[in-house]
Amino acid sequence: MMILVGILVTLSGFVISVLSLALSSNGTRLAVVVLGIAVSLFGIMGILNRAYLKNAIWKKG
Amino acid sequence: MKIASRTLLTLSFAVLCCWAPLSLAQTPAATPAAVPKAVTDADVAGAPVPSADARSKGDPDGSLTGTASDIAVTDAKKGATIGDLVNQVGQNKIAINFVWTLVAGFLVMFMQAGFAIVETGLCRAKNANHTMMMNFMVYGVGMLAYWLIGFAIQMGGVGAVANLGGTPPLNAEHVITLFGKPFGIFGQSGLFLVHRGTYDVSVMVLFLFQMVFMDTTTTIVTGSACERWKYAAFIISTFLLGAFTYPLFANWAWGGGWLANLGTNFGLGKGYCDFAGSGVVHSVGGITALAVAMMLGPRIGKYERTGKSNAILAHDIVIVLTGCFILAFGWFGFNPGSTLGASGNGSLRIGSIAVNTMLAGMSGSFAAMLYMWIRYNKPDASMSGNGLLAGLVAITAPSGFVNPVASVIIGLIAGVLVCISVEFVDRVMKIDDPVGAISVHGANGLWGVISIGLFADGKSNYGGSWNGVAGSVTGLFYGDSGGQLIAQLLGVATLVGFVFTLSFVFNLFVDWMVGQRVSAKSELEGLDLPEMGALGYPEFELKAEM
């Protein structure tokens, strides 16, 4: 389940960045693209990686 | 006093002697301007050619070879015409570009050997055969996937590649409309290199060059996944990367896709720019490596129960650094070759691109060595090698658009970034990356993409435009308003958000199908016998456990 959420959040970061193209001001575009990258990174590091670390072999000893 | 005046006199005379011819050379005598005379077919046909008798005696100094007699003539009765001459000039230009691109492609192909020994040297001796075999077969598996479908997806709609004579059969891009603008999504010509007239000399050259780039991407993943990746999983994963993931992003960046057209459609600089592939090749490889390494989990013994990371030592640092040199050598094909020519459309910038490449590699290795020396009191060999590669990865995208000073800065940042990123991936994310591929190729690939938006100096001129937008690629530090940086960041967002997701889903599928990871027993024994059936070093005494 966490993996599915992670995938969706990571992909949604990309969608947010692409949506910046609908805006006209470069300043706002820049902010939205950076937000999109941050969301994707959160999806990878904060959700997906954490999901895998939960069951990491080294934690089992 | 007398001696001093004589010396002064002699010096004055010597200066005058030197100056006189120079002065004369600078002020030539005025001559009447020659009246231009139109060249006719008769002049061309009558151009002197060496006699058959003279040629039959041999040509030791080369003065009789390569003359008017070597020009291809359409009508032997009429002899050479101006049309023949012009056609010969055109063919010579394309021939130069073909040879340049092919030789550059051959150099890039040789990088596979560099990757193979870097990765094998960095793993343990008990996995040497397995790691070498992954690096060896990545060439074949990747190429098969790319020939079957990948090339068509990537380049099937690229349109005219002027330096290679036009590539007219590659003219079918699947386009959707978004925000009222056309978005190129994937190419549709070139399946098996015969589909829709792609059995064409220009297309063949383009295929060879692009194929070796794709293969570089696929070989990056094996580094992060080595010592625990099931061989069957490696084969399927590599096929999917070469057939779909890489070609799709490469189409968007290089094949006439939507990222390349951000400039024409949305006024964002010259669109997403990636001269030789920091993003297309290295980030795609590094990000896929991240997805696979995350899924595989760390090697047994890499982390203690407390989460403390243990170093698992390389078995042969000599071949690691030799491999780094082979890679640096191959990079002279990677970056300068990306002009796809040495004649026409600004291709003479190849010298500048080659110098930028070597400078960034130098500063990257220096920065990494100094960082490790200061932080850990020793100039670490493997990280110095990774610093060299990080500098080369980072300069790959901007190499065609920046000056030498920027190249050194980009390399310096890359050299430090790779060290910090390796520590972050290892200690914070707790992802086991035996060769540092995620940091070298992933992190520094992204840095290379961003650096164009900052350092491109607006001095390059590849035929007067880039991605269909007139003018030179210019970054924020050289007067751009920020549009180019946004285009580059959109490329980063696509790599991190879309390419990662696609790679991750593909590898989940592989995991479901055959399982990604070998058994603990095989891993402890070493993968050479369980997976490959033979040891890499049969005369070594191998440890069953680390």
Exposed, middle or buried by CB within 10 Å (0-12, 13-18, 19+), for B41? middle
CB contact under 8 A, B298 and A58: yes
Mean pLDDT of B14-36: 56
Residue B176: what are its φ and ψ, rounded to 5°?
Answer: -115, 165
- One-character DSSP codes across chain A: -HHHHHHHHHHHHHHHHHHGGG---HHHHHHHHHHHHHHHHIIIIIIIHHHHHHT-GGG--
Q: Chain B: nearest CA to A52, how far in angstroms?
A: 7
* Per-residue pLDDT at B12 exceeds 60: no
What is the distance between the alpha carbons of residues B267 and B421, in angstroms, rounded to a whole number?
33
Percent of chain B scoring above 90 in pLDDT: 85
Q: What is the mean pLDDT of chain B?
A: 93
Contacts of B421 in chain A (CB under 8 A): none
Q: Are B128 and B528 in contact (CB under 8 A)?
A: yes
Establish whether this prediction's ipTM goes over 0.90.
Answer: yes
Contacts of B294 in chain A (CB under 8 A): 48-49, 52
Q: Are A10 and A43 in contact (CB under 8 A)?
A: yes
**Cα torsion B451, B453, B456, B462: sign:** positive
Instruction: Dump pLDDT digits (tens) for B88-145.
Output: 999 999 999 999 999 999 999 999 999 999 999 999 999 999 999 999 999 999 999 9
What is the distance between the alpha carbons of residues B430 and B294, in angstroms, rounded to a whole number?
9
Contacts of B493 in chain A (CB under 8 A): 13-14, 17-18, 33, 36-37, 40
CB contact under 8 A, B298 and A56: yes
Specify the pLDDT at position A57. Answer: 80
* Per-residue pLDDT band at B21 (split at 50, 70, 90): very low
| Secondary structure percentages of chain B, helix, strand, coil, to 5 | 65, 5, 30
Q: Chain B: nearest CA to A28, how far in angstroms?
A: 10
Per-residue tokens: B133: 């075999």
* Per-residue pLDDT band at B7 (split at 50, 70, 90): low
Specify the pLDDT at position B20. Answer: 44
B465 membership: H or E segment, kind and range: strand B465-466
CB contact under 8 A, A52 and B297: yes
Q: B488: Cβ–Cβ under 8 A, 6 or more apart, which residues?
A: B272, B273, B449, B450, B452, B453
Mean pLDDT of B278-299: 97
Per-residue tokens: B360: 């960034």
Q: Assign B470 to helix, strand or coil.
A: strand
Superfamily name and number for B90-146+206-532: Ammonium transporter AmtB like domains (1.10.3430.10)
* Per-residue pLDDT at B1 exceeds 60: no
* Per-residue pLDDT band at B188 (split at 50, 70, 90): very high
What is the distance between the alpha carbons of residues B463 and B150, in angstroms, rounded to a whole number?
28
* Per-residue pLDDT at B251 exceeds 60: yes
Specify the pLDDT at position B359. Answer: 98
Contacts of B524 in chain A (CB under 8 A): none
- One-character DSSP codes across B368-417: HHHHHHHHHSS--HHHHHHHHHHHHHHHHTGGGT--HHHHHHHHHHHHHH
Considering only the beta carbons, identify the residue of B178, B482, B501 that sits closest to A10.
B501
Q: Chain B: nearest CA to A10, how far in angstroms?
A: 5
CB contact under 8 A, B493 and A13: yes
Percent of chain B scoring above 70 in pLDDT: 93
* Per-residue pLDDT at B546 exceeds 80: no
* Per-residue pLDDT at B33 exceeds 90: no
Three-state secondary structure readout of B133-202: HHHHHHHHHHHHHHHHHHHHHHHCCCCCCHHHCCCCCCCCEEEEEECCEEEEEEECCCHHHCHHHCCCHH
* Per-residue pLDDT band at B456 (split at 50, 70, 90): very high
Of all residues in chain B, the one with the smallest CA distance to A15 is B497
Q: Assign B517 to helix, strand or coil.
A: strand
Nearest partner of B204 among B217, B187, B190, B214, judged by Cα: B190
Q: Are B495 and B249 in contact (CB under 8 A)?
A: yes
Mean pLDDT of B448-466: 95
CB contact under 8 A, A57 and B300: yes
CB contact under 8 A, B500 and A34: no
* Per-residue pLDDT band at A21 (split at 50, 70, 90): very high
What is the distance between the alpha carbons of residues B346 and B406, in angstroms, rounded to a whole number?
20
Specify the pLDDT at position A56. Answer: 85
What is the distance between the alpha carbons of residues B516 and B532, in angstroms, rounded to a whole number?
16
Specify the pLDDT at position B78. Answer: 86
pTM of the model: 0.91
* Per-residue pLDDT at B543 exceeds 80: no
Specify the pLDDT at position B369. Answer: 98
What count of Cα atoms within 13 Å lies in the side-chain half-sphere of residue B372? Answer: 21
Per-residue tokens: B206: 């383009």
* Per-residue pLDDT band at B17 (split at 50, 70, 90): very low
CB contact under 8 A, A7 and B498: no
* Per-residue pLDDT at B15 exceeds 80: no
Specify the pLDDT at position A55. Answer: 84
Mean pLDDT of B383-396: 98
Specify the pLDDT at position B545. Answer: 57
Residues of chain B whose beta carbon is less than 8 angstroms from a beta carbon of chain A are 178-179, 262, 266, 290, 294-295, 297-298, 300, 302-305, 307, 429-431, 481-483, 485-486, 489-490, 492-494, 496-498, 500-501, 504-505, 508, 520
Question: Position B335: which residue type?
Answer: N
Q: Which of B268, B492, B496 to mutate to test the interface with A (most CBs of A within 10 A)?
A: B496
Mean pLDDT of B282-287: 98
| Mean pLDDT lowest among B236-240, B312-316, B394-398 | B312-316
Contacts of B431 in chain A (CB under 8 A): 49
Q: Which of B287, B450, B498 to mutate to test the interface with A (most CBs of A within 10 A)?
A: B498
What is the distance between the alpha carbons of residues B278 and B256, in angstroms, rounded to a whole number?
18
What is the distance between the alpha carbons of residues B149 and B520, in angstroms, rounded to a whole number?
36
Instruction: Dump pLDDT digits (tens) for B307-327.
Output: 999 999 999 999 999 999 999
Q: Which of B501, B512, B518, B546 to mutate to test the interface with A (most CBs of A within 10 A)?
A: B501
Q: Chain A: nearest CA to B320, how far in angstroms?
A: 28
Q: Are A23 and A57 in contact (CB under 8 A)?
A: no
What is the distance between the alpha carbons of residues B67 and B49, in angstroms, rounded to a whole number?
6
Considering only the beta carbons, identify the residue of A7, A39, A45 that sits closest to B505.
A7
Mean pLDDT of B328-340: 97
CB contact under 8 A, B490 and A59: no
CB contact under 8 A, B497 and A10: yes
Mean pLDDT of B29-57: 84
| Mean pLDDT lowest among B45-59, B183-197, B464-478 | B45-59
Specify the pLDDT at position B176. Answer: 97
Contacts of A13 in chain B (CB under 8 A): 493, 496-497
